């Protein structure tokens, strides 16, 4: 699909965005191993989270969907059945990496695969700890999907993550659910902690002390009612759009503001962006609030070290903001960008070039000079949802209409993106 985006006069309105992708995956997976039913409201509409539901169904668990409310009838920790078909993770790294941990503890063999992009993403980061736990996993070139997981008895481990990755942390903790004893995960940098919060909500015995997480294996998980906050990583596109387009004022409601995700707001504030949190409450252990943004020039700055890990999903759209900022933006220590749905350093740079934006690419980031003029262009998402949406935002500030090829990629996390964008553009 080719989407045309015209420059906006201003953006204005109050919007509600779909449920958080990271939290939706975790709620669905844990609910499928809980005893009794879980009712999850505001479940993500993104294709990725539906890949997770598809996998759970293939494992014999009943899943009912009514709009964005999903009811999962769990049958306890040992309630999955051997699947009759291969499990399809689609485009979703979270699905394949987190499900691998759960599949490692099953008394059957399963095969999980993904689309072309996912088939190029490394899985050795989950295969290594799972092998230490006793799992036997085969992969293409020992590294890439599809994975054949010979489930069985798994042992607890004390594992230090070599990379900051919430997906890998979750995979190890999920396998640890089936191990007899305490599984310990040590993180180099504190990554998003939705798994820890969700496991506790379902009744697991889990302690998190700074960057060390300890989980007691073989818990009884109990089905429950849950509400997913709206996705801050989706809100990021509207926050940057509001900052870029003169005269804009937007309020985004019920956004997840977990401190392991909300570095985005801290970073925006630190570069002079007028963003504010209007209301704050806690739902299922996750902080939720309304976020307001108004147009203003921003200074720009540096994203590096821990901040690069914390903002990894938002860097494409922050790069766009950086090109409009007063001093520009330097991004370092973000080599993980190269193994996302696309090589996001390369795909951002390619689209920048198409719109005449200057950028210097480095192995682990980029340097983007500020105060650049945005020219209309023909962009490509390269099949990556966050690239599609980042360059839709760039198009709003260009001097004429732009197009985005393969714009349907946005549906991976945010199918309503184009409609919501049109509804706030004046």
In contact, 177 and 205? CB cutoff 8 Å: no
Please, what is the minimum distance in Å from the beta carbon of residue 146 to ligand S3P? Answer: 19
Q: With contacts defined by CB under 6 A, name the span among 130-138, 160-168, 216-224, 295-303 that binds ligand S3P.
A: 160-168
User: In angstroms, rounded to a whole number, what is the distance separating the alpha carbons of residues 47 and 38?
Assistant: 21
Q: Is 44 in the site for ligand S3P (CB under 6 A)?
A: no
Residue in 115, 193, 313, 314 binding ligand S3P, rule: CB under 6 A:
313
In contact, 49 and 72? CB cutoff 8 Å: no
Pick the closer one to ligand S3P by CB: 46 or 242: 46
Residue in 50, 192, 224, 295 binding ligand S3P, rule: CB under 6 A:
192
Please, what is the minimum distance in Å from the beta carbon of residue 220 to ligand S3P? Answer: 25
Q: Is 167 in the site for ligand S3P (CB under 6 A)?
A: yes
Q: Is 258 in the site for ligand S3P (CB under 6 A)?
A: no
Please, what is the minimum distance in Å from the beta carbon of residue 413 to ligand S3P? Answer: 8
Q: Is 165 in the site for ligand S3P (CB under 6 A)?
A: yes
**Residues tagged active-site:** 313
Pick the closer one to ligand S3P by CB: 35 or 336: 336
User: In angstroms, rounded to a whole number, what is the distance separating the alpha carbons of residues 315 and 309?
Assistant: 10
Record the tokens describing residue 338, joined without a space.
Answer: 């190269």
Q: Is 234 in the site for ligand S3P (CB under 6 A)?
A: no
Q: Is 173 in the site for ligand S3P (CB under 6 A)?
A: no
User: In angstroms, rounded to a whole number, what is the distance separating the alpha carbons of residues 366 and 324?
Assistant: 15
Please, what is the minimum distance in Å from the beta carbon of residue 339 to ligand S3P? Answer: 8
Q: Is 100 in the site for ligand S3P (CB under 6 A)?
A: no
Q: Is 312 in the site for ligand S3P (CB under 6 A)?
A: yes
Mask of contacts with ligand S3P, 319-358, x by CB under 6 A?
A: -----------------x----------------------
Record the tokens describing residue 376, joined without a space.
Answer: 């209309």
Please, what is the minimum distance in Å from the beta carbon of residue 313 to ligand S3P? Answer: 5
Residue in 112, 130, 147, 166 binding ligand S3P, rule: CB under 6 A:
166
Backbone phi, psi, residue 194, to 5°? -65, -35
User: In angstroms, rounded to a whole number, what is the distance separating the alpha carbons of residues 392 and 43?
Assistant: 25
Q: Residues in the site for ligand S3P, rule: CB under 6 A?
A: 22, 94, 165-167, 170, 192, 312-313, 336
């Amino acid at each position: 699909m080719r989407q045309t985006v015209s420059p906006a006069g201003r953006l204005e309105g109050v919007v509600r965005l779909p449920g958080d992708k990271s939290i939706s995956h975790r709620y669905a997976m844990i609910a499928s191993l809980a005893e009794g039913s879980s009712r999850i409201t505001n479940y993500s509409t993104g294709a990725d989270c539906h890949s997770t539901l598809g996998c759970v169904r293939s494992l014999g668990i009943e899943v009912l969907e009514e709009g964005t409310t999903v009811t999962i009838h769990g049958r306890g920790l040992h309630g999955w059945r051997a699947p009759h078909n291969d499990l399809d993770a689609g485009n979703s790294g979270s699905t394949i990496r987190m499900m691998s941990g759960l599949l490692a503890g099953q008394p059957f063999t399963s095969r999980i695969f993904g689309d072309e992009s996912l088939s190029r993403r490394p899985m050795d980061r989950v295969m290594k700890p799972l092998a230490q736990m006793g799992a036997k996993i085969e992969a293409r070139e020992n590294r890439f999907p599809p994975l054949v997981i010979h489930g069985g008895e798994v042992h607890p481990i004390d594992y230090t993550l070599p990379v900051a990755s919430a997906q890998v942390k979750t995979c190890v903790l999920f396998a640890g659910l089936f191990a007899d004893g305490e599984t310990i995960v040590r993180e180099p940098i504190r990554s998003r902690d939705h798994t820890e919060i969700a496991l506790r909500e379902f009744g697991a015995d889990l302690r998190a002390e700074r960057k060390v997480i300890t989980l007691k294996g073989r818990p009884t998980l109990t089905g429950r009612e849950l509400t997913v906050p709206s996705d801050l990583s989706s809100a990021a596109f509207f926050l940057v759009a509001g900052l870029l387009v003169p005269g804009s004022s937007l309020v985004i409601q019920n956004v997840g503001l977990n401190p392991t995700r909300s570095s985005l707001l801290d970073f925006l504030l630190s570069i002079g962006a007028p963003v504010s949190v209007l209301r704050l409450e806690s739902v299922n252990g996750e902080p939720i609030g309304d976020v307001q943004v108004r147009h203003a020039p921003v200074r720009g700055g540096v994203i590096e070290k821990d901040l690069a890990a914390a903002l990894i999903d938002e860097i494409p759209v922050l790069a766009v903001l950086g090109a409009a900022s007063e001093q520009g933006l330097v991004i370092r220590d973000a080599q993980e960008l190269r193994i996302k749905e696309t090589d996001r350093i390369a795909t951002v740079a390619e689209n920048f070039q198409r719109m005449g934006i200057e950028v210097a690419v480095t192995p682990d980031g980029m340097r983007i000079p500020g105060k650049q003029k945005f020219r209309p262009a023909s962009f490509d998402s390269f099949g990556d949802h966050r690239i599609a949406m980042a360059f839709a935002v760039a198009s709003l500030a260009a001097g004429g209409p732009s197009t985005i090829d393969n714009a349907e990629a946005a549906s991976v996390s945010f199918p309503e993106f184009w409609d919501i964008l049109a509804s706030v553009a004046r």
